[in-house]
Amino acid sequence: MKFGEKRAPVSAQREVRITNKLGLHARPAAQFVKRANSFRSEIWIVKEGKRYSVASLIDVLRANLDCGATATLEAHGVDAEEALEQLEKLLAEFHEEDDV
């Protein structure tokens, strides 16, 4: 890509499963939101037909992602694929922090 060229927005989605036995509770949810906000793309959690913005800690907590829950991460923007890859990796890392 040449200097000054804009990348076309991309849409991406990934199915994720929460493996931390405490679920995506306050501390890991805050880390998740912080990481999500480092990307330029708009990102959502879709669970049971409802969309939750990952830019909002309240929304992430409202998604009620307990251990074993599955959801879809959706992103739209220039770094959508990278964002979902990094967020999925972060969720997997939370598995190791069962006593968080």
Active site amino acids = 25
Question: Under 8 Å CB-to-CB from 86, ≥6 apart: which residues?
Answer: 35, 39
Query: Of 15, 9, 12, which Cα lies nearest the Cα of 74?
Result: 12
Q: The tokens of 27 are what?
A: 């501390």
Give the span between the Cα atoms of 80 and 99, in whole angstroms.
31
